[in-house]
Amino acid sequence: MHPTPAGRFLLLGFFGLLALPYFSVVTIADSGSNCRCIFGDSCWPSASDFSKLAKQVSQPLLKPLPPASPCYPLSRPSGDCEATKRLWTDPSWRANQSGAMQSANFETFVFGNDTTSACFINTTLAIPCGQGSVPVVGIDARNDADVQAAVKFAAAHNLRVVVKGNGHDLSGRSTARGSFVIWTHHMKNITFDALFTPTGAPRSEAGAQAITLGAGVQWQEAYDAVNARSRVLVGGLSPGGTVGAAGGWVLGGGHSVLSPTFGLGVDNVLQFTVVTSNGTRLTANMHRNPDLFFALRGGGGGTYGVVTSVTYKTHPNLPLISAVFSATPSGSQTSGVLQTLLTDLMKAMPGLSDAGWGGTAFVAPDATGNVGLSGSFVLFNGTMARANQSTSPFFSTVTSLASEVTFTTSLTPFDSFHAWYTAMSAQEASVAGTNGALGSWLLPRDVIENHSEHVAETLLPLTGLVMGLYAGGAVAQVDPDTMGLNPAWRTALLHTIFATGWVEGTPVNVIDGLFDQVRQNMTALRSLAPDSGAYFNEASLVEPDPLKAFFGDHRATLKAIKHIYDPIDMFVVPEGIGSDDFDDALICKL
């Protein structure tokens, strides 16, 4: 079975029978009043039109190229192919290119007849370098005025628009074939305010120590900035710290190892600035445009406008304790022992959450190929005594399996979150430049408490299993109806993910089989808590009812808000609010 049409458009790693040359065009639909204009359509702006735009923005117009293009000298501009191959999996190298995505499969495009436009780093496949799903033109935004000019231009010409920061996008939402890109990567302004008061707030409202981050600021930059002020903020983790701190991460919710202590990213936002589809720059907070503020906090990125800055409250940069463990079955009954380990970890999770721990556990092969259970957690502002007491239930169980398990553990104090983050980042392995897809589901606390063994049995067969203790604690204390975030976060304890991947050139039937397995795994995972939901930023692209899965009961409210601030539906992303009004390619309205 082939992926659904939407999946075929999005899950872009397929190897076709024929690759199209650079800039060859097969229009998905004739662009009329009901369709967006994409490159190759007769409605595409002229050179004169683009020349006028170029005079309105601060930087030369972008002409994004697929990152592998230097390895195709006969059809592409010259470049250093050896350097490209060496840096292929470097997330910073990818983030600095307007045409690169962190997941390489989203740089390619598969047509309805299974032909592929792509630019593969593996040149031995003998497939010409095509533009794929890389946008053909756009702006390098450096300020709000640049964004406003771009939005007005796109509206005037009815263009298919994508908004991109750093390319950390596990659903391909910041790129699209034949599109016009608003690249916010270089919007790097950082402002610290010791007494920030939201615009329009009454004078009686107490100010907070806050940091305002431009849309292109990455977490490494944000962490360095707040650490210099002896503060900390809730943020993401990734190799190189290249995830955007004021883009899709927070607009989808934004989880963190600090979330059990301080809440999710959206729980810490004080204010947004955003450019809407009519080119107006708005401030959104509890006092100005509160409905837009509701939507931007978890209602999905690339949907309501172009966010140009986010203001977060910060917190004292207190010490923390790191807990790292690894348990690998070494006896003959490895599957049974692994089942016992995972069951006991599930039983321990509610207590770890109550104690304040946040972090991630994995079921994956170790360096020798043996599958084991490992984890990395942090206890913010905790004592070593509390750390030992709260981890002992699980560690004691593992110790009792000493004859069947190779087990290591450590509890290490750090002076600050920044010190821990720096140490952890140095150990993170990059998956940038690879091809893959995932599935995920939020598991409620009561399911884990009452059905630990069944949860473990369901999770264990999933490949690339990641279990994030990012909920509970402060996350559970927020009224779910105060923002657009999926309400399932407020009753969840774990964010569970599984993943699959493939190499360039993998045949269509093999890829189809991988996505069939994703569907089967999602059916099993969803059965644990059918009324829960999934995290918009890290979820399956073959969800049968994505809007319900990602936004729950807030989806109707979010759509009404979108109609107010984006009445022309300029901003539409796969499986986002409003996507159900368009065809699978998000080009023509239904």
- Indicate whether 590 belongs to any domain: no
Please name which of 249, 184, 182, 170 lies closest in space to residue 10, comparing C-alpha atoms.
Answer: 170
pLDDT per residue over 277-323, tens digit each?
999 999 999 999 999 999 999 999 999 999 999 999 999 999 999 99
- 286, burial (CB in 10 Å: exposed 0-12, middle 13-18, buried 19+): middle
Q: For residues 335 and 305, what is the distance between their CA atoms, to the nearest angstrom?
A: 49
List the one residue out of 256, 230, 258 whose CA is nearest residue 380. Answer: 258
In this structure, the answer to whether residues 342 and 277 fall within a common structural domain is no
419 and 522 in a single domain? The answer is yes
Chain centre to alpha carbon of residue 448: 25
Residue 439 has what pLDDT? Answer: 95
The answer to whether position 585 is within a domain reads no
- Separation of alpha carbons 144 and 212, rounded Å: 14
At 112 the pLDDT is 79
Q: Which residues contact 365 (CB under 8 A, 6 or more apart)?
A: 371, 372
**Count of domains observed in the chain:** 3
Q: Are residues 391 and 538 in the same domain?
A: yes
Residues 140 and 101 in one domain: yes
User: Does residue 400 belong to any structural domain of this protein?
Assistant: yes
The pLDDT value given to residue 506:
83
For residue 61, the 8-state DSSP code is: P
Q: What angle do CA 229, 234, 240 make, to 5 degrees?
A: 85
524: exposed, middle or buried (C-beta count within 10 Å: 0-12, 13-18, 19+)? middle
Tens digits of per-residue pLDDT, 524-547?
A: 999 999 999 999 999 998 999 999
From 266, 289, 317, give the residue that closes a domain. Answer: 317
**CA dist., res. 586 & res. 590, Å (int):** 10
Tell me: do 391 and 533 sit in the same domain: yes
Cα distance between residue 562 and residue 484, in whole Å: 12
SS3 assignment, position 89:
coil
Asked if the structure places residue 109 within a domain, the reply is yes
Residue 476: the pLDDT is 98
Q: Are residues 313 and 364 in the same domain?
A: no
For residue 60, the 8-state DSSP code is P
- Give the tokens for residue 473: 């604690």
Mean pLDDT by 10 residues, the chain (590 residues): 30 26 34 83 98 98 96 81 96 96 93 86 93 97 98 98 95 96 98 95 87 98 96 92 96 97 98 98 98 98 98 96 93 82 96 96 86 95 94 88 88 96 83 92 98 97 95 97 98 97 85 90 97 97 95 98 98 97 96
CATH number at residue 353: 3.40.462.20
Query: Can you tell me the distance from the alpha carbon of 439 to that of 466, in angstroms, rounded to the nearest whole number?
Result: 11
In Å, what is the CA distance from 495 to each residue of 361, 424, 442, 533, 580? 11, 20, 5, 10, 26
Residue 95 DSSP SS3: helix
> How many Å is the Cα radius of gyration of the chain?
24
371-380 sheet: strands from edge to edge: 405-414, 320-329, 371-380, 357-365, 465-469, 492-502, 435-444
* Whether residues 103 and 10 fall in one domain: yes
> Are residues 434 and 475 part of one domain?
yes
If we measure between CA atoms, which residue out of 565, 32, 42 comes closest to residue 295? Answer: 565
- Alpha-carbon span 153 to 170, nearest angstrom: 28
User: Residue 114 domain-assigned?
Assistant: yes
- Report the relative pairing of strands 161-164 and 180-183 from DSSP bridges: parallel
Does residue 257 lie within any of the structural domains? Answer: yes
540 contacts 534 by C-beta, under 8 angstroms: yes
Residue 284: enclosing H or E segment and its boundaries?
A: strand 281-284
> φ, ψ for residue 114 (rounded to 5)?
70, 15
Q: Give the DSSP per-residue string, 452-465.
A: HHHHHHHHTTSTTE
What is the residue range of 179's domain?
5-183
Indicate if 105 and 225 belong to the same structural domain.
no
pTM of the model: 0.93
Residue whose entry in the numeric block shows the structure tokens 């305010």:
193
413 and 478 both lie in a single domain:
yes
Residues 343 and 429 grouped into a single domain: yes
| Among 268, 284, 317, residue at a domain's last position | 317
pLDDT of amino acid 332 = 65
The residue from 257, 283, 317 where one domain ends is 317
Compute φ and ψ for 506, nearest 5 degrees: -65, 130
Structural domain contains residue 573: no
Residues 246, 161 within the same domain: no
Domain membership of residue 453 (yes or no) is yes
